[in-house]
């Protein structure tokens, strides 16, 4: 984007010049914007006009604060003030008979161009010597300095029927403008800016304050607050969702990834499998559709470079003396190990299986989470200097041993007890493979996929395991039915998983419960009973009750039955009498403190929650071992949709990931979603991130400043300052703040 500020006086044609410059670029196929500061066009009064030029649509309508180029139409305005916000490599184009180096003291180190526009304009009959109309002459000079052709300049004039003296004056200026970079170091403007300030009636000098301190009249004043964005508040991993989305909107994937990696080392995983409570919390869904945060996270993880994003990875560390053993390498254990290693603890990660990853590897199928993504992120974690011991099962005795050889122990062994159901003797009769735990099936077929073509598979359950077992069996060629004792509404599986399972041809049999399995000589038959919903049970969901009618029982022919009835923690690893408290040290042990996290401790049942639990447990361990408290202060109030002013935003549809064709989905374990496109400089992802409202957090959009009728709200540091001497408490800044950052408070 190129931005220009024009300084002139009313009557000289500054606003028209802005429009002419914009016109010349528009004819070149650019997006343009040109406007003046309102109510300042009295003849002789100082005014500013602005031009924006870009290759893409321009959505920013604020006044320009940091122009690339400044153009000064009137000699009396040629002061250091015009350099306010000016970028040092831009041009200062002056209406002056002097050569550029005459301004060496005023504008040292800047690129300065001069043209005697007043003389040229008057000579060509444009205005009078007291009020010369210099706009078309200046257009010629500006066009030449900024690399436009003479045709561009004359074309822009012809477009608005400016002929005669305008053309000759512009051509003369084009041919005679003088331009050079002045000697000396670039200096900041010597005096504070006056431009942009709206004059009161009682002003006795331009730029001065009114004599009456009108702020005394007010009964209320604007204040600023920072609120917690609802997405941040809803993220179980504790991610700064708004922050990473803001970086994405700037096209800075590395920065987005850096922000994510501060809290979660598995953004590529979460960007694929997280149920995204942040999206459920997003205020934008009341406006049109929530931001596609999950896809943006995936994009940052896949397109950003983690080793650029986090400095120091792989570099020699000054390790602390304390060591920590982490038992279990699911998302909880990996997250705890990562955060502890970043805090310079020597970590040993002990895993029973031959590979790391927990349920992410053994349960979640590759069509939702490709193994190369998981491997890439696990490698990144382990590269932080973590010692890994796979094939190491830790029991109670070993755990106690660990407490004597490490400074602290983290237990994140997940849910190892699989619930089952008694289907009678028939399940044994039916053969070893007929009834299988869904999780065992998922783990088995990922290593050794078998063909189920022509077989009828019944899956019992309504959670993620049920959906993944059903969708995997479908991919292996089976006809699949899912039997669930409540209704689809109450299924604990992730919503999208249920929808995608149904799309893939899986039949959901709601309000049905299995009773027994038998063999009738032809093959296995599963007898089921119909259910109805009763009063809510302890889980808050309606209790399923058996129908009592005569036709309540019925048989389903099947070849395989997969059980997906839920899991629970295996507490046998802990010494008897230990009380598991999420993230807190277990009491009653003699050696080093033992902490528990992830599903083992809390059974929150999501990867993201396990990551969050792993991180905060790591911080608990750090606080115990070092005394340092890394926990942030309590979060601010959450920015609800009621504090936003959404009239500022435009409606825009959500960008969605492309998906495989249904035929491919039914036949292969290739990833179903391919994510947002990275084509054209990631324009899709950048636009999607740009839909974010940034609820409760100031983005320095200048709207409060631009709408302040008194002109007493100005940029200061990274935010704004109100001159309360003159603030009448009108509340327009608060009403125009899109994000609920400014609010009015009574005095």
- Which residues are near ligand FAD by CB under 6 A? 273-275, 327-333, 350-353, 358-360, 363-364, 393-394, 412-416, 439, 442, 464-465, 468, 494, 573, 598-600, 605-608, 610
> Cβ closer to ligand FAD: 359 or 737?
359
> Cβ closer to ligand FAD: 21 or 564?
564
CA–CA separation, 33 and 52 (whole Å):
5
| Of 617, 116, 8, nearest in space to 335 by CA | 617
Helix 150-159, helix 135-145: angle, nearest 10: 150
Note whether 483 and 531 are within 8 A (CB). Answer: no
The least CB distance from residue 323 to ligand FAD, in Å, is 17
Note whether 173 and 51 are within 8 A (CB). Answer: no
The least CB distance from residue 523 to ligand FAD, in Å, is 27
CA–CA separation, 270 and 300 (whole Å):
11
Helix (H) or strand (E) holding 547: none
- Rg (C-alpha) for the chain, rounded Å, is 34
> Cβ closer to ligand FAD: 286 or 372?
372
> Cβ closer to ligand FAD: 457 or 639?
457
β-pairing, 553-557 vs 542-546, is unpaired
| Of 85, 110, 92, nearest in space to 185 by CA | 110
The least CB distance from residue 415 to ligand FAD, in Å, is 6
The least CB distance from residue 528 to ligand FAD, in Å, is 23
> Cβ closer to ligand FAD: 468 or 736?
468
> Cβ closer to ligand FAD: 112 or 445?
445
CA–CA separation, 264 and 236 (whole Å):
10
The least CB distance from residue 464 to ligand FAD, in Å, is 4
CA–CA separation, 719 and 94 (whole Å):
32
> Cβ closer to ligand FAD: 14 or 414?
414
CA-CA distances (angstroms) from residue 24 to 16, 148, 151, 729? 12, 8, 9, 42
CA dihedral 196, 202, 203, 204 (to 10 degrees): 170
CA–CA separation, 132 and 318 (whole Å):
71
The least CB distance from residue 226 to ligand FAD, in Å, is 29
> Cβ closer to ligand FAD: 605 or 690?
605
The least CB distance from residue 598 to ligand FAD, in Å, is 2
> Cβ closer to ligand FAD: 282 or 399?
399
> Cβ closer to ligand FAD: 54 or 443?
443
> Cβ closer to ligand FAD: 2 or 388?
388
β-pairing, 46-54 vs 31-36, is antiparallel
- Other Cβ atoms less than 10 A from the Cβ of 737: the count is 22
CA-CA distances (angstroms) from residue 170 to 118, 120, 192, 451? 12, 9, 33, 79
The least CB distance from residue 573 to ligand FAD, in Å, is 5
The least CB distance from residue 478 to ligand FAD, in Å, is 17
* Sequence-distant (≥ 6) Cβ neighbours of residue 156 within 8 angstroms: 20, 21, 23, 24, 27, 139
DSSP 8-class letter at 636: P
Chain-centroid distance of CA 662 in Å reads 30
CA–CA separation, 298 and 720 (whole Å):
35
The least CB distance from residue 217 to ligand FAD, in Å, is 56
The least CB distance from residue 358 to ligand FAD, in Å, is 3
């Amino acid at each position: 984007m190129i931005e220009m500020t024009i300084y002139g006086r009313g009557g000289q044609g500054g606003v028209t010049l802005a429009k002419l410059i914009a016109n010349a670029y528009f004819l070149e196929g650019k997006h343009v914007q040109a406007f003046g500061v309102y109510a300042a066009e009295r003849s002789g009064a100082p005014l500013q006009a602005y031009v924006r030029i870009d290759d893409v649509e321009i959505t920013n309508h604020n006044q320009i604060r940091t122009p690339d180029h400044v153009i000064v139409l009137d000699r009396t305005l040629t002061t250091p003030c015009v350099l306010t916000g000016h970028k040092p490599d831009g041009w200062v184009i002056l209406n002056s008979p002097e050569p550029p180096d005459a301004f060496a003291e005023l504008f040292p180190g800047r690129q300065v161009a001069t043209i005697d526009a007043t003389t040229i304009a008057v000579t060509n009959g444009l205005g009078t010597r007291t009020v010369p109309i210099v706009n078309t002459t200046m257009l010629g000079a500006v066009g030449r300095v900024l690399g436009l052709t003479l045709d561009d300049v004359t074309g822009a004039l012809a477009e608005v029927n400016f002929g005669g003296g305008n053309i000759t004056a512009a051509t003369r200026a084009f041919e005679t403008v003088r331009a050079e970079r002045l000697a000396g170091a670039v200096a900041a403007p010597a005096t504070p800016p006056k431009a942009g300030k709206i004059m009161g009636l009682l002003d006795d000098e331009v730029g001065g304050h009114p004599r009456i301190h009108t702020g005394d009249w007010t009964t209320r004043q604007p204040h600023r607050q920072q609120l917690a964005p609802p997405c941040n508040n809803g993220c179980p991993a504790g991610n700064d969702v708004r922050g990473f989305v803001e970086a994405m909107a700037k096209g800075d994937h590395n920065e987005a990834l850096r922000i994510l990696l501060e809290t979660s080392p598995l953004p590529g995983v979460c960007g694929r499998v997280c149920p995204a409570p942040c999206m459920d919390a997003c205020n934008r869904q009341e406006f049109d559709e929530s931001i596609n945060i999950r896809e943006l996270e995936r994009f940052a993880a896949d397109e950003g470079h983690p080793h650029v994003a986090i400095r120091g990875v792989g570099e020699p560390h000054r390790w602390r003396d304390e060591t920590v053993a982490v038992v279990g390498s699911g998302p909880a254990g990996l997250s705890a190990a990562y955060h502890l290693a970043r805090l310079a603890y020597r970590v040993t990660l002990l895993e029973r299986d031959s590979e790391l990853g927990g349920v992410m590897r053994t349960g979640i199928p590759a069509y939702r989470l490709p193994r190369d993504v998981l491997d890439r992120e696990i490698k990144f974690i382990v590269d932080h200097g973590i010692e890994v011991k796979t094939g190491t099962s830790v029991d109670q005795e070993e755990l106690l041993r660990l407490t004597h050889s490490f400074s602290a122990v983290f237990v994140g062994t997940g849910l190892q007890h699989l619930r089952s159901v008694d289907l009678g003797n028939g399940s044994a009769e039916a053969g070893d493979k007929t009834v299988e735990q869904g999780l065992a099936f998922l783990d088995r077929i990922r290593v050794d996929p078998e063909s189920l073509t022509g077989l009828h598979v019944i899956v019992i359950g309504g959670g993620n395991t049920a959906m993944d077992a059903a969708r995997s069996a479908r991919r292996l060629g089976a006809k699949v039915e899912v039997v669930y004792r409540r209704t689809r509404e109450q299924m604990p599986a992730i919503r999208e998983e249920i929808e995608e399972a149904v799309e893939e041809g899986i039949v959901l049999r709601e309000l049905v419960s299995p009773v027994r399995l038998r063999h009738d000589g032809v093959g296995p038959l599963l007898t089921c009973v119909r259910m109805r919903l009763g009063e809510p049970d302890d889980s808050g969901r309606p209790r399923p009750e058996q129908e009592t009618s005569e036709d309540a029982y019925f048989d389903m022919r099947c070849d395989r039955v997969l059980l997906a009835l839920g899991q629970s923690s295996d507490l046998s690893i802990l010494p008897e009498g230990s009380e598991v408290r999420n993230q807190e040290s277990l009491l009653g042990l003699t050696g080093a403190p033992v902490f528990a996290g992830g599903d083992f401790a809390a059974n929150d049942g999501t990867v993201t929650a396990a990551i969050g639990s792993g991180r905060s447990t790591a911080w608990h361990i750090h606080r115990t071992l070092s005394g340092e408290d890394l926990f942030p202060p309590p979060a601010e109030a959450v920015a609800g949709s009621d504090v936003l002013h959404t009239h500022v935003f435009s409606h825009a549809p959500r960008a969605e990931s492309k998906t495989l064709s249904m035929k491919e989905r039914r036949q292969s374990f290739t990833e179903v979603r391919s994510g947002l496109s990275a084509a054209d400089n990631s324009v899709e992802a950048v636009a999607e991130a740009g839909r974010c409202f940034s609820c409760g957090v100031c983005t320095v959009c200048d709207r409060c400043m631009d709408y302040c009728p008194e002109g007493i709200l100005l940029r200061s540091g990274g935010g704004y300052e109100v001159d309360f001497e003159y603030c009448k408490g009108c509340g327009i800044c608060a009403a125009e703040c899109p994000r609920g950052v400014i609010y009015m408070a009574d005095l």
